[in-house]
Amino acid sequence: MSDEPSLTYYRYRISRDPKRLVAWFTDNWAHNRKLRAASYIGGFAVVTLVLAWATLGRNLPDAESLLEYETPLPTVVRGIDGEIVHTYARERRVQLQYVDFPERLIEAYLSAEDKTFFSHGGVDITGTANAVIDYATKFGSGERAVGGSTITQQVAKNLLLGDEYSVTRKLKEMILATRIESVLTKQEILELYLNEIPLGRRSFGVQAAARAYFDKDVGDLDLHEMAFLAILPKAPERYGRERHRDLALVRRNFVLDQMVANGFIRADEGAAAKRLDLGLVRQRSERSADAGYFLEEVRRQLIEKFGETADDGRNSVYSGGLWVRTSLDTELQDAARDALRAQLLSYHGNRGFTGPIATLNPDNGDLTAQLASSNISINYEDWRIGVVTAPGRVGFTDGEEHTLSGGPSTLKVGDVVATVKSGNGYAIRGVPKVSGAFLAEAPQTGRILAMQGGFDSRLGSFNRATQALRQPGSTIKPFVYAAALDQGMTPATQVPDQTFCVWQGANLGEKCFRNFGGGGGGVHTMRWGLEQSRNLMTVHIADDAGMDNVIKTIARLGIGEYEPYYSFALGAGDTTVARMVNAYAALANWGRQNEGSVIDYVQDRDGKVIFRTDTRDCSGCNMEEWDGQPMPRFDVSGRQVMDPRTAFQMVHMLQGVVTRGTAVRLRSLDLPLFGKTGTTNGPTNAWFVGGSPDIIAGMYVGFDQPRNLGGWVQGGNTAATIMKRFVDATKDRWTAEDFIAPPGIRMVKIDRRSGKRVFDGSPSDEPTAAIIWEAFKPDTEPPRSTRSDAIAAKRNEILELIRRGRQGATSAANSGRDDEPSDFVEDQGGIY
């Protein structure tokens, strides 16, 4: 017979024992005062607990919302080559799946935070009891008690409740934890926890923390590094700081001991890991291309489209986890930055210190802390931004202070300055007060390849490439000439270089225009007038074409909306570098204009494209099988804003500006470039806009509050120099292929000076060539040159030489100057 109790025995005990308990309770209730008191207290406690559970649990967040929870993720920005160039993030976050977390990393967190995680139902009774006892002993002391929270409770706190320190929050946390356990699997809970737990250094989740503390991915962490990350949830701001290194070592070693005790690692592995130092790296800024102005423009556009925070929608910039492909070309961007800076520093010369970058108020507290929160910095050679903390002393954002030399007597405490290491201290450096902008664009697409809106975006966010309204000077002239070409004139049309006056009414009287530096006279071809940037010829051309037609052309290309006044034909209206570059891009693209863009497309966190700049349709591109028809192609992009033939004529004429005109210093690049210089009255602005068939660039130099740059400053010697530096630094990116003429253009040999057609001789690219190729629309070609024309031209040339000889060398030089004087002195002995 078996010694084990039978089933009948268990049934007997189950039915008999409760009856005996009830009988005992009934017999003693009337005579036992302690039993009655304990019963009342116990019953009250149970009712209270049930009511509290029902009350607190009634308005709690829905645990099922975690099924659709999405980790707030930063926006990642890629350049034109697909490489990551920046991240828009206020917190470090990287989302991983459960399978991506190393097993030992999970075991480290279980040992540190919740060793019974896989066996409890959300709440660890033993841990909770210990927390209650600890809370009772510390009540009223102001010291925070041990939490006793499981990993599930921490998920409830971090994602659904917040970090309020109270008994009520703890009870809510417990209720939610049990509900979460009924909704999510243990693996899903751990995945949320390891992706969301705050771990210091602005890091949320273990992958972000691994990068912040060790500059590694989680898969590359060593055992002692995993143990360190596991101690951070308790006190990330304490254990992550160097001054608490000893405390961190003790806590890390405790976690290693727990891993040994739990059977996760061998004792010798734990001992070996405990002998190692923490191995923390210094905090590093997020990697980013040095393209602050460009990236800020991208950020501004993204916020406008998708919002800034999670409250603005699922695809917000700082929590939506967007992937953004931009048109940023880092090679061209670096060259643009360096070229503009070099010219600004060249202009600055030996002026030295020109005043503080900013001024902080010493009454507002620690100056170095104020400097750190101001985000003012610089990325130029080994310069550092500091703040004057005392006479002859400078402080930096890391709290260090050093001696400062080279500062003027006017320097005062609170002034923010640029410095460079000098001996045992630092010497002051002058950031140029003059500024400017540079922008490069691909004409066939409108993609902006580089953008530099000043010396350094860290000194101020104002983007002069897109926000500064400046007078473009003579860079507007190609569009005046284009309007004239549309009205029937040709590059060979003869135009007077003579005084032009207009009556402006009784109040303003008569306005007479003049060439830069005076001078003028005679009649010349349109080409010559553009190459030499003759103001008088431009006003005559605007008058012949009609100012209404001129301003319509300017407006159609997006440069600006102006009144039909002749001064606007000379560049008196305000515009931006971005608009001018986009207009010149239309010239290089046969008159077809694409809107300038910095964003190619945007993908959400799931990889779905939610925005695309290029919205062209390609019917049949996604067909499953080829239908035997011609290959499907995209429609042509952009809109036609100018006759393609007119656009090419302007480009062909503007190549002469580089060959022998005001931008002649670019001729040594030996590339098929076109462009136009510009200098406004004062001069207050010096411009150049132009480029090749593939890259159009525009730039200017000027003070933010316009003032005289100095009489020697011209677009040809200042702005064009920036262009030359830019091309020299990126020579491998420039094609030697010339601009292609559109259908309907006839290339005709003409006499360069007279504009008459010739049939003998060969055209040449030499600057002094007597015969050149000129672009004409059908039936607008000039007649053939005659013997009498040649005699008359030679006579006029001789008379002009005699006149110049009488005026003297100085007068001769001035009479050849205009808006921008050419660096090339033309040979007067041409062949006719």
Q: What is the pLDDT of residues 246-300, one digit of tens each?
A: 999 999 999 999 999 999 999 999 999 999 999 898 876 666 889 999 999 999 9
Q: What angle do CA 138, 240, 75 make, to 5 degrees?
A: 115
Burial of 804 (0-12, 13-18, 19+ CB in 10 A): middle
| 118 half-sphere exposure, CB direction, 13 A CA radius | 6
What's the predicted TM-score (pTM) here?
Answer: 0.82
Q: Which whole number is the average pLDDT over 387-415?
A: 93
Confidence category of residue 513, pLDDT binned at 50, 70, 90 = confident
Residues 186-232 have pLDDT tens digits of 998 899 889 988 898 888 999 999 999 999 999 999 999 999 999 99
* Strands 435-441, 425-429: pairing kind: unpaired
Tens of pLDDT, residues 20-57:
666 666 766 667 776 667 776 777 666 666 665 555 55
Q: What pLDDT, on the 0 to 100 scale, is given for residue 827? A: 31
The yes-or-no verdict on residue 644 having pLDDT over 50 is yes
Distance CA 200, CA 510 (A): 72
| C-alpha to C-alpha distance for 774 and 752, rounded to whole angstroms | 9
Q: Identify which has the larger pLDDT, 679 or 179.
A: 679
Do the Cβ atoms of 257 and 230 come closer than 8 Å? Answer: no
Q: What is the pLDDT of residues 740-767, one digit of tens each?
A: 999 999 999 999 999 999 988 899 888 8
Point out the least confidently predicted range of 648-657, 720-729, 781-790.
Answer: 781-790
Task: Tell me the angle at which helices 577-588 and 644-660 cross, rounded to the nearest 10 degrees.
Answer: 110
- For tokens 């104002």, the residue is 462
Strand partners, 116: none
Active site residues: 113, 474
End-to-end CA distance of the chain: 136
261 C-beta neighbours (distance < 10 Å), count? 13
d(CA 519, CA 534) in angstroms, rounded, equals: 10
Whether 356 and 417 have beta carbons less than 8 Å apart is answered as yes
Strand partners, 415: 359
